[in-house]
Amino acid sequence: MSSPITSTSSLPIREQTGIFQQVGLLKAVEDSYGGVKVDVEEPMDSDVYVPLLRASMSQWRQQEGFRYHHAESDYLMLVYWIPETPDTLPANASHTVGIGAFVMNDNREVLVVQEKNGAFRDKDVWKFPTGVANQGEDICTAAIREVKEETDIDTEFVEILAFSQTHMNFCGKSDLFFVCMLRPLSFDINKQDSEIKAAQWMPTEEYMAQPYINKHESFKNVAKICSSKSRNHYSGLCSVPTMSSSG
């Protein structure tokens, strides 16, 4: 655990009047890359914060020059590269992780939905349940969750059948999209009214025959892979639990 590198100590700062005053330092901890992290726990007036920041930066032998890195619902991250070397701080997350769920019953019918909003609104396109993995959520868990949320169907993960990468999606981020095969454990549909216009079990051939599916190469390729899998002519990737080097 990092130890504080600044405390309640202070530095003498010359005011515009030429008079020196003692200014406290911001509390900070050193990170594993030799930088410092400052956590401002309470709102602070700029008249108080700026002198603290200047004194702290002086202590770190630097000057102001922070840039916005990213923001979440409960914090805003500002960063500044201290060494006199090229800035190699990694950017904020470059990708989102999307999932599509291929769910087929024993009658060779696939679970499909029509969306109320977004790119597929009012297009009468039947598509697989889709969504985005949450932070810290496994891909297979995200697929199961999205199917449950959109259709109320319980499922279990089988395989990842395909994945793709596209760019300039939500907020300009790139997207990694995984097509997951799930096995249905229940069959009675109860659609999510807030997002889903309609949901049904559709014959595989009828799904593949949709003009939209055949017009768009990515959808067509996924449909072919899923069709091959349904006839046992294709094998995907199973999940293997592992632990990262950082634990």
Q: What is the pLDDT of residues 204-237, one digit of tens each?
A: 999 999 999 999 998 999 999 998 988 888 877 7
In a domain, 242, yes or no: no
Kindly give, in sequence order, each residue whose CB lies less than 8 Å from that of residue 234, ignoring residues fewer than 6 positions away: 161, 225, 228
In this predicted model, which residue has the larger pLDDT, 61 or 199? 199
CATH number of domain containing 148: 3.90.79.10
How much is the average pLDDT of 129-140? 94
Domain that holds residue 174: 95-230
How much is the average pLDDT of 27-35? 67
How much is the average pLDDT of 77-85? 80
Which of 30, 137, 149, 195 is labelled catalytic? 149
In a shared domain, residues 143 and 168: yes
- Helical (H) or strand (E) element with 139: helix 139-151
The CA-to-CA distance between both ends of the chain, in Å, stands at 15
pLDDT at residue 4 greater than cutoff 70: no
In the numeric block, which tokens belong to residue 95? 């990708």
User: Is 149 known to be catalytic?
Assistant: yes
How much is the pTM?
0.67
> Strand, coil or helix: what is 198?
strand
How much is the average pLDDT of 157-176? 87
In a shared domain, residues 135 and 61: no
Q: How many domains does the chain have?
A: 2
Instruction: Please choose, from the candidates 111, 141, 140, the residue with its C-alpha nearest in 3D space to the C-alpha of residue 126.
Output: 111
pLDDT at position 65, please? 67
In a shared domain, residues 75 and 103: no
Contact 226, 127 (CB under 8 A): no
Indicate the DSSP class of residue 185. Answer: S
Contact 153, 79 (CB under 8 A): no
Contact 153, 147 (CB under 8 A): yes
In a shared domain, residues 224 and 105: yes
Q: What is the dihedral of CA 77, 78, 83, 86, to 10 degrees?
A: 90
Indicate the DSSP class of residue 79. Answer: E
For the chain, state the CA radius of gyration.
Answer: 26
Q: What is the dihedral of CA 34, 38, 39, 45, to 10 degrees?
A: -170
In a domain, 244, yes or no: no
pLDDT at residue 49 greater than cutoff 60: yes
In a shared domain, residues 131 and 207: yes
pLDDT at position 188, please? 98
In a domain, 237, yes or no: no
